[in-house]
Amino acid sequence: TDGMLNIVSPLDPITSIEIFDVRGRKLNNVSVNGQGSFAIDISELETAIYFISVTTETGSITKRIVKK
């Protein structure tokens, strides 16, 4: 991705979104209001691999992204 990251959770409302670097340091904690989709601006991040942790009411998932 280059600038915007779209996250969609059609079944459960999202409770939190966190961005981590490869070393495991938390870079950002995105404020959420319980909706099912969000667009996060990651244009200020450097070119690297990041991990996005999305937590819903029923669980959480972590995905890897590559910032170009």
For the chain, what's the residue count? 68
For CA atoms 60, 53, 18, 31, the dihedral sign is negative
Residue 51's pLDDT is: 97
pTM score of the predicted model: 0.85
pLDDT of residue 50: 96
Query: How do residues 2-58 score in pLDDT, each as one tens digit?
Result: 788 999 888 888 889 999 999 999 999 987 876 778 888 899 999 999 999 999 889
Residue 62, pLDDT score: 96
pLDDT at 1 over 80: no
pLDDT at 64 over 80: yes
**Residue 17: which of 3, 2, 37 has the closest Cα?**
37
* Cα(67)–Cα(50) distance, integer angstroms: 7
